Amino acid sequence: MAAEATSRSARSGTGWQGLVLPLLLPSWLVIGIFMLVPVALMAVYSFLTKDFRGGIVWQFSLDAYDQFFVERGLFGDEPPLPNWTYITIFWRSIWQAGLATLLCLIIGFPTAWFIATRNPRHRALWVFLITVPYWVNLLIRTVSMRFLLRDHGPFNEMLMAIGLIDSPLRIINTDLAVQIGLFYSYLPFMVLPIYAAVERYNFALSEAARDLYAGPWTVLREIVLPTVKPGIVAGCILVFVPSLGAFLAPDLLGGARTYMIGSLIDEQFRGSAGNWPFGSAVAMILLTMVLAVLLWQVRVATREKR
Amino acid sequence: MGLVQTEKLGNCGSLQREAVGIKRVVKCYGSFEALKGVSLSIADNEFFTLLGPSGCGKTTLLRSIAGFEDVTEGEIALYGLDIAALPPEQRPVNTVFQQYALFPHMSVRENVAFGLRMKGVAQAERQARAAEMLEMVHLSEFGDRLPSQLSGGQQQRVALARALAPRPRVLLLDEPLSALDLKLRQAMRVELKQLQETTGITFVFVTHDQEEALAMSDRIAVMSAGEVQQVGDPRTIYEAPVNRFVAEFIGETNVLPVTVSDVSAGRARVALAGCRDLIAQAPEDLSPGAHHVSIRPERLSLADGGEADLTARVERVVYLGTDLQLLACLPNGASLTVRLQNTARTSLPLQGQELGFQIEEGAVRLLVD
């Protein structure tokens, strides 16, 4: 009987073995066609020459990268200088995304902690509430944010009604508005992974630490944060990476002076003055940066495991 | 051994200080009273056990001493100092947790040194003390491992070393052996007791395992439904239980309904249906009438032709190796368990056989319900 069961499971085991390849094929196709091919295409385009009507000419050129990094002057005979225009845009994107990540962490961690420490029966409801905004398209939510924050919008009207300010605050079209938009858009991406980590946290560890003469803040720093760190890191990546390339918030809430990478790339492909190789090059530079951050994170994580 | 313990206890009472003083402690969760006015006095250098079934409030009491629960009413004093209002980190007690609660991201050595680091002990001294503690629990070679790389028994030792490293005045142990397998549990009992004797630290041990409690404790407090039922050394608890709960919870016993006639000087004449009258140990203030007696199974022996105190029909014989357990039926229908030593001379009783049993002198105890 036992032998029969073993042989049956072995037979079904080999049966599954044979199915592994066909079952994996669809996901490989999806990843291949919709992710790898476009990225490869982008990489190739960034080394081609731009066409004047948008599109590309199949001729190798480093013009796109040259345009990004080097200032050549109008007539081409001045000495080449570093071009700060795009680097400034990158820098603004990095600190905006970094700040959004930090704010999401500061607000998201206590939120996740709150949910994870509720009665288990109510946790699912809280998680559900966190995801409710995602039922509405991000574009629509960002447009509503514009409406809320404008000079005579509800937010300013309310502050004036309660007498906190005399004239409307200038929020819309500033870095602050972009920051609010990013923070609002990506907060749940911070809350959910941290929630998953805190939910698995063994609260007896906190008690053990208190018992061994650690105060509440020491417990947070020495025991809680190191234990739930994987969740925090995941949350930070999930907020930082899309914030870096975001274009809805800077486009709709910001102005000319709050330009971010996402808008810069967007403009190269959609405008009539588009420059596909340049847009591709910017995207490749962004991709390289993101990969660098991720690889660094992986290295840190594996070093800790050892 | 019982004698030695009694002597030691005599000393405790007169010479030694009170380590933990618990006075009328009440703990409510909403309308549920987990502790209903518990008072206990635990002596310095004592191995004191809180014993009871799950939900009796023993863990709540331990957590109240540690500071994890705020008591609703009452006082908790540690060497005369009221600690009820102090947070856990300011109480000079340490705890060994049921599931050990070792810090998973710290090495064994860092775990053991954690309490010392929090107390601000210098690095060199910390390392020396951690090494000393690891040696004490035979884990010197494991200092650099992570807790997850150790077996359950080894984790248990790390938890002990971690809790003992800061030299607490009192060590609290919350069912520390319950996650170990039987062999390991029995070995750890001896080790824990030795550890308590060598360190001289007062141990407050929580368990639901009466055998564990009897094996290690200087004194035991038996708890039930948020109240202390009896406090005493293991022998008193086992041999002179004050009420039916204690008699039934500690060890195996036969609880039989009887009729009490005259009571005098701590003895009572009891009538057990279908048997001749017996003399039982009884509390002074017992009134005649219907009561229960407790007779331990090992205090019964085969009459073997001598005069039998009671007769019963054997229903089942359970062979336990060192012992034989007889499940028998008294003439009035009550069941009786008898434990006989398995000696070479014993021929196995047969099922259905009517046997006469003798009861050891003083083995019949009247119980207060």
pLDDT the model gives residue A209: 95
Nearest Cα to Cα of residue B58 among B231, B247, B188 = B231
Range of the domain at A229: 88-274
Task: Say yes or no to pLDDT of A6 above 60.
Answer: no
Nearest Cα to Cα of residue B263 among B277, B292, B243, B284 = B284
For position B201, which CATH number holds? 3.40.50.300
pLDDT the model gives residue A14: 59
For position A219, which CATH number holds? 1.10.3720.10
Choose the closest CB to B115 out of A204, A212, A215: A212
Measured between beta carbons, the chain B residues lying within 8 angstroms of A210 are 67-68, 87-89
For helices A175-200 and A120-131, give the axis angle rounded to 10 degrees: 160
Range of the domain at B210: 2-244
Q: Cα A71 to chain center, whole Å?
A: 30
Task: Say yes or no to pLDDT of A188 above 90.
Answer: yes
Q: What is the DSSP string of B277-333?
A: -EEEE--TTPPSEEEEEEE-GGGEEE-TTS--SEEEEEEEEEE-SSEEEEEEE-TTS
Q: Do residues B285 and B264 lie in contact, with contact meaning Cβ atoms separated by under 8 Å?
A: no
Is B126 within 8 Å of chain A by CB? no
Mean pLDDT within B122-149: 92
End position of a domain, from candidates B196, B222, B244: B244
Measured between beta carbons, the chain A residues lying within 8 angstroms of B113 are none
pLDDT the model gives residue B62: 95
A247 within domain boundaries: yes
CA-based nearest distance A214→chain B, Å: 6
Q: Do residues B147 and B103 lie in contact, with contact meaning Cβ atoms separated by under 8 Å?
A: yes
Pick the residue from chain B with its C-alpha nearest to A210: B89
pLDDT tens by residue, B250-297: 888 888 888 888 777 778 888 887 677 888 877 777 777 888 888 899
Measured between beta carbons, the chain B residues lying within 8 angstroms of A209 are 103, 114, 118
pLDDT the model gives residue B345: 66
pLDDT tens by residue, A203-245: 999 999 999 999 999 999 999 999 999 999 999 999 999 999 8
Mean pLDDT within B79-102: 92
Task: Say yes or no to pLDDT of B307 above 60.
Answer: yes
Q: Do residues B196 and B161 lie in contact, with contact meaning Cβ atoms separated by under 8 Å?
A: no
Is B92 within 8 Å of chain A by CB? no
For position B349, which CATH number holds? 2.40.50.140
Both B204 and B264 in one domain: the answer is no
Both B81 and B199 in one domain: the answer is yes
Query: What one-letter code names the amino acid at A196?
Result: A
Task: Say yes or no to pLDDT of B205 above 90.
Answer: yes
Mean pLDDT within A28-46: 91
CA-based nearest distance B111→chain A, Å: 10
- Tell me the β-bridge partners of A280: none
End position of a domain, from candidates B228, B244, B260: B244
Pick the residue from chain A with its C-alpha nearest to B103: A205
Both B329 and B197 in one domain: the answer is no
Is B64 within 8 Å of chain A by CB? no
Contact B94 A211 (CB under 8 A): yes
Is B101 within 8 Å of chain A by CB? yes
A230 within domain boundaries: yes
Choose the closest CB to A208 out of B67, B93, B101: B101
Is B114 within 8 Å of chain A by CB? yes
Take residue B70 and report the two structure tokens written for it. Answer: 């705020």
Among A107-121, A177-191, B273-287, where is mean pLDDT lowest?
B273-287
A292 within domain boundaries: no
Place A56 in a pLDDT band, splitting at 50, 70 and 90.
confident
Is A214 within 8 Å of chain B by CB? yes
End position of a domain, from candidates B210, B244, B278: B244
Both B352 and B328 in one domain: the answer is yes
Number of domains in chain A: 1
Count Cβ neighbours within 10 Å for each residue of A141-177 and write b for 16 or more, e otherwise.
Answer: bbeebbeebbeebebbeeeeeeeeeeebeebbbbbbb
CB atoms within 10 A of CB A212: 28
Calculate what percentage of chain B has a pLDDT beyond 90.
48
Q: Do residues B255 and B292 lie in contact, with contact meaning Cβ atoms separated by under 8 Å?
A: yes
Q: Count contacts between A and B (CB, < 8 Å).
A: 60
Measured between beta carbons, the chain A residues lying within 8 angstroms of B97 are 204, 207-208
Measured between beta carbons, the chain B residues lying within 8 angstroms of A218 are 118
- Angle of CA points B125, B130, B134, to nearest 5°: 150
pLDDT the model gives residue A5: 45
Task: Say yes or no to pLDDT of A7 above 50.
Answer: no
Is A215 within 8 Å of chain B by CB? yes
Contact A204 B67 (CB under 8 A): no
CA-based nearest distance B89→chain A, Å: 4
Place A3 in a pLDDT band, splitting at 50, 70 and 90.
very low
Place B141 in a pLDDT band, splitting at 50, 70 and 90.
very high
Choose the closest CB to B101 out of A207, A213, A226: A207
Number of domains in chain B: 2
Task: Say yes or no to pLDDT of A54 above 90.
Answer: no
Place A140 in a pLDDT band, splitting at 50, 70 and 90.
very high
Measured between beta carbons, the chain A residues lying within 8 angstroms of B88 are 207, 210-211
Query: What one-letter code names the amino acid at A303?
Result: R
pLDDT tens by residue, B58-78: 999 999 999 999 999 999 999
Measured between beta carbons, the chain B residues lying within 8 angstroms of A227 are 103-105
Mutation choice for B interface testing from A205, A211, A217 by most B CBs within 10 A = A211
Task: Say yes or no to pLDDT of A107 above 90.
Answer: yes
Rounded Cα–Cα distance for residues A297 and B231 (Å): 58
Query: For chain A, what is the mean pLDDT?
Result: 87
